[in-house]
Amino acid sequence: MGKRAMAAVLGLVGLLLVSGPAYAQDAKGLAPGWFSLDSTVGVVDKKIEEGKSAVEKALFGIKISGFWDVSYHYSFNNPVNGADDITGRAFQQDHNEINLDSFKLVVEKDEKDWGVGFRVDANFGRTAEFLREATLWGSKFQTPGVNGGEPSVELQQAFLTTTIPLGKGIQVMGGKFVTLHGAEVIESKDNPNISYSFPFYFAIPLTHTGVRGKYVFTDMIDLTLGVNTGWDNPRDNNNQPSYEGRLGFTFSDKYTLVVGWMAGPEWLFSDHRNNTPRDRIGRNRALLDVVAIAKPTSQLTFILNYDYGTEDQVPVGDGRRDTHWNGLAAYAIYGWTDRFSTAVRGDYISDSTGSRVLHGRLWGLTLTPAYKFTEKLIGRAEYRHEWSSRNFFSKGRTATDKDQGIFALQATYAF
């Protein structure tokens, strides 16, 4: 690691661990803390909020929000494979580098004034590059070093909303939007951990383009149904729609359960980094996604996410086979104070043919402490260890291994 990178890492470690005490007026909602930065960064927080409010008022109530996210990841396998990629990741692949993962800007307006609302999410940075690589905007995927790769910007969401006045009202959205499925989201800062689970990467889609409607039957039950162009495909690749749904149960403010599903024909590419499709026939792909959340106390949260997917007649070797995959992730998050919390995650995925990740099994265990320096500035550190049923993780220049350990640091600021 170069001297500048080392200095930046040490600075981030210092920010996370050894900030001096500050007992000036703390941000509303946060108790005083030894590492509080409310007397310095907190002042900037308030100025940004004042400026944002003035802009929103001038724009007739159009809301503006966003965040930035900087992180560092180090694999103890020390991969030296040309790109220095950490194996088994769709995002956060860069070994021993500090990256602006995301600068995200959201512009939105509710339906109250015009009867129609909208939302646009623009993502800039390294995450945007990876997201575009996995999104079929044109006739083929873009690959770094092969056909120019993708720019560091991605239109993550862009949709209109309205409410059809039937019964209690059907909430409708149309355009490009994030998936209904999974316990994690694209924005790392909104997840319990810095890194993502294997099921997030390999068991579920990320975004869809289509139409989605939601109806709330009671305070306890809601149903969402939609039709779209498929998994991560703004451009329809087979002229056949995919269908999505989710049934939500809110038993109380402490216990919720959602059951989601998706089905439809999809292309299967040999690899998202390979621009030549194996097969232009849309084969049926189906997904079942279950997320349960329990909050037994105000400080403790448990999350359990299970995914089961299938696809017909996947090309394997010289033939075709029906395939299936299973994903499981379990989380425990404990808030020691309103500033300091710890999240633990265990996750697993198995793939019967290698259609999603590899023909085998992957496990991961992650520990992530987090600290709120202000309401808007959060620092996190993490250690994650991953295992595989076969040699899978890059090690050194040419070797592979059955496990790898990864250390990470992250700073996020929301506005």
Selection from 341, 355, 343, 348 nearest residue 389 by Cα:
348
Spatial distance between the Cα atoms of 307 and 328, rounded to a whole number of angstroms: 6
CATH class of the structural domain 45-414: mainly beta
Spatial distance between the Cα atoms of 179 and 164, rounded to a whole number of angstroms: 22
What is the chain's pLDDT, residue by residue, as a tens digit (415 residues)? 444 443 444 444 444 433 333 323 333 568 888 899 999 999 999 999 999 999 999 998 899 999 999 999 999 999 986 666 899 998 999 999 999 999 999 999 999 889 999 999 999 999 999 888 877 776 565 555 554 566 789 999 999 999 999 999 999 999 999 999 999 999 999 999 999 999 999 999 999 999 999 999 999 999 999 999 999 988 877 788 999 999 999 999 999 999 999 999 986 444 443 444 444 455 789 999 999 999 999 999 999 999 999 998 777 766 778 889 999 999 999 999 999 999 999 999 999 888 888 888 999 999 999 999 999 999 999 999 999 999 999 999 889 999 999 999 999 999 9
Domain boundaries, the chain: 45-414
| Residue with the two structure tokens 């729609």 | 241
Q: Which residues of 247-276 are buried (b: 16+ CB within 10 A; e: fewer)?
A: ebebeeeeebebebbbebbbbbbeeeeeee
386, with CB counted inside 10 A (0-12, 13-18, 19+), is buried
Q: Which two tokens stand for residue 52?
A: 């944002």
- The amino acid that residue 34 corresponds to is W
Q: Is-above-0.85 flag for pTM?
A: yes
Q: Which residues of 159-179 are buried (b: 16+ CB within 10 A; e: fewer)?
A: bebbbeeeeeebbbbebbbbb
Spatial distance between the Cα atoms of 242 and 228, rounded to a whole number of angstroms: 5
Q: Is the dihedral of CA 82, 86, 91, 94 positive or negative?
A: negative
Spatial distance between the Cα atoms of 98 and 207, rounded to a whole number of angstroms: 26
Tell me 55's DSSP state.
H
